[in-house]
Structures are given as structure tokens and as C-alpha cells.
Structure 1
Amino acid sequence: MSSMGELTFFLGLQVQQKKDGIFISQDKYVVEILKKFEFTKVKTASTPMETQMPLLKDEDGEEVDFHMYRSIIGSLMYLTSSRPDIMFVVCACTRYQVNPKVSHLYVVKRIFRYLKGQQKLGLWYLKDSPFDLVAYTNSDYVEESLDMKSTTGACQFLGYRLIPWQCKK
């Protein structure tokens, strides 16, 4: 076993160790996928998803190449390991991988426009945070108006550190 110095990359994650904590990000990966899918010269968006336009099945919409759509979604899913800000919208887009439409591709493009403007975000873990386990949960049994299914979500914090979280329909 040998020491190769301070950890700076781990499984595609950039790790910056500082005196008061550790910052984990995927800045270089964001730049790579923006180039790969040709989103380097687009306008930026302030949010990853439009708030006034729900994501629907859109059965009558024009179809898009599902191989390309799945490739984009796979790239975005990998990015969610350090970007919880896009987790909800990416998971919503994964529901339409079987038969993606132009309207779904529009939402995915919006995520890339958001990433273009917010490339330097990540997770910050303080070294001296308390060691208390706190859990939050929320359930919506009223049923969503679009598909009549309930939603449940939960997250756990160890001190100030977010550990697992989930959202299930």
C-alpha cells in the first residue's frame, strides 16, 4: 500500500480538503457533459425546472430518439451524487425513458441550461459538526392530480451532513 498524497479525485468526484471541512463536487464532469451534448453555448436558466409547467406523459407529442434521451438521463443521474439540486427534476425525467417526447427533451435541456449557469455547486461537509442523527419525512396521501399516486420523501442528517435521502411515488 502506498500513499499518493492528498485525495483530490475519487470515482469522478472532485474532493477539496480544507481545514474546516471537505467540499465534494463534479465541476469537470459538468463541463464534459455540456460539451458532449453540445450545450456549451446556450443561455443559462435560474432553476432546473419550470415551476408553472408540469411534466406530463404527453402521449400525442412528437417522439425523440430514446437512445439519446437515455444517454442524457444516465449522465445526469451520475451527476446527482454531488448535486441534490437537480435530483427531483432528473428523477421526474427518468419516468419517460421508454417513450420520450419533445416536451420531455425540453425539460432535460432546461436542466443543462441550469447547469451551465451553476457549474461550481457541490456538497460541503464540516469537520466539527455534531454527531446527532436527525431524520425528516413527509408524505402526501392526497394523490397527485396528474397520475393519482401518492408521494413520500425522507432525508437523514448526521450532524450537518446529509446522508441518505429518498423520494418515492
Structure 2
Amino acid sequence: MNIIRTKWIYRNKMDEHGVITRNKARLVAKGYNQEEGIDYDETYAPVARLEVVRLLLAFSCLQVKQLKDDIFLNQTEYCKDLLRKFGMDKCKSISTPFSTNCHLDHDVVGNPVDETKYRGLIGSSLYLTINKLDIMFVVCMCARFQSAPKESHFNAAKRIMKYLQGTKDVGLWYLGNVSLSLTGYSDSDFVGCNIDRKSTSGTCHLLGSSLISWQCKKQACVALSTVKQSILQQGVVVLKLYG
């Protein structure tokens, strides 16, 4: 059987004004090399997203411990290397990755920090979200300020490292001989962003007692209430009537 080669496709995504807003890259299979009946039906996905590539790279440095009926996945060694890389392998551990009374914003008056170091810390932490959903919210929150990070953002990122110091051995445990009922949970911080007043929602799904998927996503747009619109329109009419 011939090996199906791949190719990188690069594309610039533009808005309605023709301004480039995003640079996209996709790894695709060369479909013209496939032969029907040999390797045609077996290729179920012609496009490999970058998230899948990153997932493969992240799992290549997971630790996998297989027992008789259970499987345990964790990234203890990666956490140790990450803490050592940023000089926090001797730091004290902390019980939570994010303070409940901390609300990050652009912090225009704050002291700037090294962008390269900050981006490296956040980028390295993103690989840990493969099997540590407990840090996904705060990592995605800190990732919003990579263009001009300030000292407050860097302190929040260092708090993640302190949390990892005490949870290096925490991972995903897949048990055998359990029911395969699918359960989902969702939550949202109502108007949690101080910048644009958007909410951040999170979901997770369990198959039996095993966590299989999770995500943390910021609200795409904010809609104006129809009640508020009608009140504003009535106010405009009143102003016109009374000069």
C-alpha cells in the first residue's frame, strides 16, 4: 500500500474590508494519490487541524501507566521540566490556579515585562491543558494579553506555575468495567471580562466516570437587549416631541 503524502496549505483570512485578520495553515492529504479500493475509503479525514498535530505532540510526552483494568495519564515530567525552565522548581505550591478576586485587564499603567518569556510560559502551559482541565480557564485568560503583557499578567501566569508545583502528579484516570453513560456539565462567568463585558463559558463531558472532552470559550459577541432598545427609542421620541 502506498503512503499518502501530506502538504501544508497556507491562507490569509480577511474581513469584509479586505484587511488580513488571521493567518491560517492546514495540513492536508494529497487526495490525487489515493486509489479507490486500496486507500480511498480508509482515509476518513482529508484535513488535519493544527490542534490535532499539537495533541499528538503533547501526548508523545505524556506519561501512561496501564494497570490491569485502568489507565492513568499524567504529565508529571513535563511539569517538572516546565518549572525548571522558568526557574520555579523550588517555589511554594498554592491550592488554586487563579484568585477569585483577580480580574485581568490591559493594565495600561502597569510595568511591562519580557514578551518572549511571557509568551513562552503561556505557550508551554497550553500543552498541559491536554489532560489538566483545571488550568484551562486561567491559561486561556492569560493568553489574551500576549501582545503587551504587564507585571499583573505575569504574576497571574506565575500563580499557575505555583499551582502546578502541588499538582504535578494529577492526571486523568480511565477506569474499566464502568457504565458508559454520557454526562455533560456547563458553566459561565456572567460578564466576567472587564474589557468587553463578555462571558466565558466552559463545558466538560464524561463517559461513565472518565473525562473525555472539555473546552473553555469566550463569548463571540454581545447582543443589545430588545427591551433596552425599545426604551432608548421611546426616549428619542420623547426628546423629539418636547424639543
**Shared fold, TM over 0.5:** yes
User: Contact 2:115 / 2:149 at 8 angstroms: preserved in 1?
Assistant: yes
Task: Structure 1: give runs of 5+ residues left out of the alignment.
Answer: 1-9
Give the counterpart of 1:128 among 149, 169, 177. 177
Amino acid at match of 2:194: L
CA displacement at 1:132 relative to structure 2: 1.7
**Match in the other structure for 1:153:** 202
Q: Which has the higher helix share?
A: 2
Q: Pairwise mapping of residues 1-169 of structure 1 onto structure 2 (< 5 A)?
A: 10-139=59-188, 142-144=190-192, 146-147=194-195, 148-169=197-218
CA displacement at 1:34 relative to structure 2: 0.8
- For residues 17-54 of structure 1, the C-alpha deviation after alignment (integer angstroms, 9 at most, x for no partner) is 11231110000001101111110122221211122222
- The farther-off stretch of 67-76 and 153-162 is 153-162
TM-score by length of 2: 0.61
SS in 2 for 1:120: coil
> Aligned in 2, Cα 1:75/1:23: closer, same or farther, shift over 3 Å?
same
- For residues 81-136 of structure 1, the C-alpha deviation after alignment (integer angstroms, 9 at most, x for no partner) is 12112111111111111111010000111111111122111111111221222223
The share of aligned pairs that are identical, in percent, is: 48
TM-score by length of 1: 0.86
Give the alignment's Cα RMSD to 1 decimal. 1.9
Cα distance in 2 for partners of 1:138, 1:103 equals 26
User: Contact 2:73 / 2:173 at 8 angstroms: preserved in 1?
Assistant: yes
Query: Which 4+ stretches in 1 moved above 4 angstroms?
Result: none
Higher RCO (CA 8 Å, separation ≥ 6 residues): 1
Amino acid at match of 2:204: C
* Number of residue pairs the alignment of both structures matches: 160
Over alpha carbons, which structure has the higher Rg? 2
